[in-house]
Structure 1
Amino acid sequence: MTDIIDQHAPPRSDVVLDVRGLKTWFPTRAGEVKAVDEVSFSLTRGRVLGLVGESGSGKSVTGFSIMGQLEPPGRVVEGSILFGGRDLTTLDRESMRRLRGKRIAMIFQDPMMTLNPVLKVGTQMIEAILAHDQVSKAQARERSTAALAAVGIPSPAERLSAYPHQLSGGMRQRVAIAIALLHRPELIIADEPTTALDVTIQAQIIAQVQRLVRELGMTLIWITHDLSVVSRLADDVAVMYAGRIVEYGKAEDVLNAPRHRYTVGLIESVPSRNRPGERLRQIDGITPSLLALPTGCAFRTRCDAADAQCAAAQPLRTHGTHSHRCCHPVAAHEALR
């Protein structure tokens, strides 16, 4: 199998995360739901990967697979997730617990998946530090205060005494990000952390995340359906559809000269690309059921260019550092209207 790793692999000493042929399936009475099917990518230190796709494309399941936090009956059935030379799919629960929060952290869309509503912010942050580091409570409190200040929370020492319900939505998300940063992890997975926030707060948080990633040299996977966020934040973009990566490359290449017709559809669906009064563009049809995917290209049932060739398995085609799975790629001069 030709995969993204082979085509875009950076020097191995710089690789933080190396995902190869990942398959995450959910058994149901109707059959196997192939939520993630042969996904491969690698990330070097300090890079930001934008993992993009519609709801149900498999992007969040990819993040939970890396974190070892799949909800039963979901399971990784094949592939490897190499982090620091160790395959995370082979680690037991205790080994993964020691990694989570310390070397790998996740920021959720809903900050209340991180925060306990009945505990003060300071209590939760201090416990998170003491779970991995042997330091005094005073030192842990000092680190917690510094982490809150780093994500732009005013009067951080006072906020340690607050309960989550006493904070705004944007403030709670900043606290969740601060908790993820407490141990300066090598890898952070952010699962649509700004989706529920207004655009002003969203822009502030994205700017702060960019600054922290740059200053701390961390690697970031930003999972989102919002291409405007990806254009501001990501170094590389992986576009997912029906459990597979259909396009991958540097952000400027994928967003400015997309080759896969699904990527083109996503970009043209962004409202800001439409003239005032013009009908919003959209991708025809709906995502097929993961229980009954069409043979070959899963997008072919929604694609105007589909023909008999698209019913065959689509290998990854690579042009320089830009890859796609399409036998009728969009030419550069016609990619975007």
Structure 2
Amino acid sequence: MNGTTPTPVPTLEVRHLRTVFDTRAGMLKAVDDVSFTIGRGRILGLVGESGSGKSVTGFSIMGLVDPPGRVAGGEILFQGRDLTKMSPRELRALQGNRIAMIFQDPMMTLNPVLRVDTQMTEAVQAHARVSKDAARERSRETLAMMGIPSPDERLLAYPHQLSGGMRQRVAIAIAMLHRPDLIIADEPTTALDVTIQAQILSEVQKLVQQQGTSLIWITHDLSVVAGLADEMAVMYAGRIVEQGSVDAVLDHPLHPYTAGLIGSLPSNNRRGQRLHQIPGMTPNLLHLPEGCAFAARCPRVGSACAAQPGLTEPLPGRQVRCFYPAVQGTQA
């Protein structure tokens, strides 16, 4: 024994992930060279506009990309094992058990013609050899853990008898049934009012702390990430353009796109003035420009931007894909 502590294996390590869709118009690069790592009990906020590739990243990790889409390259290491090399049977053993996903629409999780108790007990028994009574008890405990009042009544309800917020809580409870090591949440609170959203975020945060679960929270809402996540990665046109701790990125954005997103928040604009906005549109992923995908919308564009920027680390713990990052005056 040399007394050195072995480095813990991260829950998830994504290396140079590429996911493409083969269309009649050509190959669409939905996710292009995406890499990030999540440790145990950590929350990563994956942020970007619609079409930035953040949801496809989540589906790629879960093995839920269907033709004409496919994972075309890279590694997805879950506790050191590459998910892209697993057989369908090995993947199924992990899905819903060690890795779970919460969708934006809870009805993607819930079957409208089955009672909640039937759906939850079946989900338990799919991965654990327990009696129906034990499965039902675990279902009831998990609903209570999600802050759902009268869990016994909710178990007897059909999805249409529940409010939107309650349906989403049940969907999250189903994801938590097996105390998974990794949860991928794809904008699950977007359609809910802010009060319900705040309650669910608080409950999810508590569960992550208690269970040591790692969480990827996919969203376009920076205010959610600010209060929830430990680290954040900002995606644009299929690539991560900035990455770092939440406080560091929000306080001192290095990439002009991140700065534009933060600047367009209503709280960062004076009352009565027009909202700041990023000019132009997200480029078509089928016809990306040769150089930087953000160049046409960028206030800092320069001659170097005709080439494609690589990911650099201008400050400790901060990664950015930009030739002209706003490093001056920032702190790590």
Pairwise same-fold verdict (TM > 0.5): yes
Partner residue of 1:23 out of 18, 22, 41: 18
Partner residue of 1:276 out of 267, 271, 275: 271
The yes-or-no answer on 1:324 pairing with 2:327 is no
Question: Secondary structure of the residue that 1:176 maps to in structure 2?
Answer: helix
Q: d(CA) in 1 for partners of 2:268 and 2:328? A: 18
Gaps of 5+ in 2: 1-5
**Alpha-carbon distance, 1:71 to partner:** 2.5
The residue aligned with 2:73 is 78
Q: d(CA) in 1 for partners of 2:57 and 2:45? A: 12
RMSD: 1.2
What amino acid maps onto 1:208 in structure 2? E
The residue aligned with 2:249 is 254
**Alpha-carbon distance, 1:95 to partner:** 1.3
The residue aligned with 1:118 is 113
The residue aligned with 2:217 is 222
Contact kept in structure 2, 1:296 and 1:314, CA below 8 Å? yes
Q: d(CA) in 2 for partners of 1:153 and 1:322? A: 39
Gaps of 5+ in 1: 1-10
The yes-or-no answer on 1:162 pairing with 2:162 is no
Contact kept in structure 2, 1:297 and 1:312, CA below 8 Å? yes
Partner residue of 1:236 out of 231, 234, 250: 231
Contact kept in structure 2, 1:239 and 1:245, CA below 8 Å? yes
What count of residue pairs does the alignment treat as equivalent?
Answer: 325
Partner residue of 1:95 out of 77, 90, 96: 90
* 1:63-90 Cα distance to aligned partner (Å, 9 max, x none): 0000000121100011010112211111
The residue aligned with 1:291 is 286
* 1:156-177 Cα distance to aligned partner (Å, 9 max, x none): 0111000000000000000000
The residue aligned with 1:145 is 140
Taking only the aligned residue pairs, the percentage that are identical comes to 65
Contact kept in structure 1, 2:9 and 2:80, CA below 8 Å? no
**Alpha-carbon distance, 1:332 to partner:** 5.0
Contact kept in structure 2, 1:54 and 1:225, CA below 8 Å? yes
TM-score normalized by the length of structure 1 = 0.95
Partner residue of 1:300 out of 285, 295, 300: 295
Deviates more, 1:41-50 or 1:304-313: 304-313
The residue aligned with 2:124 is 129
* 1:104-147 Cα distance to aligned partner (Å, 9 max, x none): 00000000000000000000000000000000000000000000
The residue aligned with 1:189 is 184
Contact kept in structure 2, 1:24 and 1:76, CA below 8 Å? yes
**Alpha-carbon distance, 1:331 to partner:** 4.1
Q: d(CA) in 2 for partners of 1:167 and 1:144? A: 17
Q: d(CA) in 2 for partners of 1:92 and 1:62? A: 20
**Alpha-carbon distance, 1:94 to partner:** 1.6
* 1:36-77 Cα distance to aligned partner (Å, 9 max, x none): 000001110000000000000000000000000012110001
